[in-house]
Amino acid sequence: MATLQVPACVPSPAEDSEQLKKAFEGWGTNEGLIISILAHRNADQRRLIQQTYAETYGEDLLKALDKELTSDFERALLLWTLHPSERDAVLANEATKRFTSSNWVLMEIACSRSSHELHLVKQAYHVKFKKSLEEDVAFHTSGDFRKLLVPLVSAFRYEGDEVNITVAKREAKILHEKVKDKHYNDEELIRIITTRSKAQLNATFNQYNNEFGNAITKDLKADKDDEFLKLLRATAKLLTFPEKYFEKLLRLCINKLGTDEGALTRVITTRAEVDLHRIKEEYQRRNSVTLGHAIQKDTRGDYEKLLLELIGHADA
């Protein structure tokens, strides 16, 4: 369930554009007005506002925002305003360029979007970067990370609920052997994780747990300093328990000495229209504090205000 709140009666894209234009004019920008509009429109509505704004004022709304705003607030609002597939294309492109954490962002986009959504990301990537997502990922990664990430971002997984128990049993056994022998980069292990449907993987992981007495994510904890193993474990978790994956990510980036605004912004802007409600529940259960309070404690100003509106904190 999404946390985005759209008013029952939404102004026309022309009215919204006019208000945004006003917010940019005069002495100082009216950030509150900008948030009150954009943080309460869904993806299609935001796209219409962008189109109308460009037609009316001959200027790209994103460029106008870029000119008026700064730092974390700017990045969060720009990312949020983008259409989800374009936003993911931008995040993925950055991730093929940056030095740290990038593998996680790629894995996250590949594993938490539906097959259709991931395909839209790949189309948006073509349009925006004149290249394919896969070629950039393949070019910028190497070794075990490439072995895992290229098929992950290339996948077009089956999305039906059908499960083949014979396959689940056989592949649970394969996974257990490879994990037991610490062959985490094994070809068969990677094949299973990167190609099977989420429903099928869930069945396979359940078989693993039943047959061998531990959750596979637990067995994948063997070496805390192995970055590849951490990524593999996160992949297994995200594919079967997305809300737990995102809860943990939020917990780590908020509790960090100096909040990790990059990850915080990414999770809130990419999940607010999808499943942030479930993630919030999970967060409160695990941390005994609401996500809203945690964000209030760790952020400030317009950035704080935007995040709180996106997570529907008025409710909390």
Give binding residues as ranges.
24, 26, 28, 68, 254, 256, 258, 298-299, 304
Size of the site for its own copies (CB under 8 A): 28
For residues 79 and 292, give the distance between their C-alpha atoms in angstroms, rounded to a whole number: 20
Q: Is 150 in the site for its own copies (CB under 8 A)?
A: yes
Q: In whole angstroms, how large is the CA radius of gyration of the chain?
A: 21
Q: Does 138 bind its own copies (CB under 8 A)?
A: yes
Q: Which of 18, 151, 206, 248 touches its own copies by CB under 8 A?
A: 151
- What is the pattern of x (binds its own copies, CB under 8 A) and - over residues 96-125? -----------------------x--x---
The residues, ordered by sequence, that sit 6+ positions from 299 with a Cβ below 8 Å of its Cβ are 72, 259, 261, 264, 307
Q: Which amino acid would we find at residue 98?
A: R
46 binds its own copies (CB under 8 A): no
Which range binds its own copies by CB under 8 A, 2-10, 17-25, 145-153, 202-210?
145-153
178 binds its own copies (CB under 8 A): no
Amino acid residing at 95: A
Interface with its own copies (CB under 8 A), residue from 124, 133, 189, 267: 133
Residue 210, phi-psi category: left (phi > 0), alpha (psi -120 to 50), beta (remainder) = alpha
Interface with its own copies includes 155 (CB under 8 A)?
Answer: yes
Distance CA 288, CA 140 (A): 40
Q: Does 126 bind its own copies (CB under 8 A)?
A: yes
Residue 225 within binding range of its own copies, rule CB under 8 A: no
Instruction: Give the burial class of 7: count Cβ atoms within 10 A of its Cβ; 0-12 exposed, 13-18 middle, 19 or more buried.
Output: exposed
Nearest of 306, 308, 312, 316 to residue 70 by alpha carbon: 306
Q: Residues in the site for its own copies, rule: CB under 8 A?
A: 119, 122, 126, 130-135, 138-139, 146, 150-151, 154-160, 162, 187, 191, 194-197
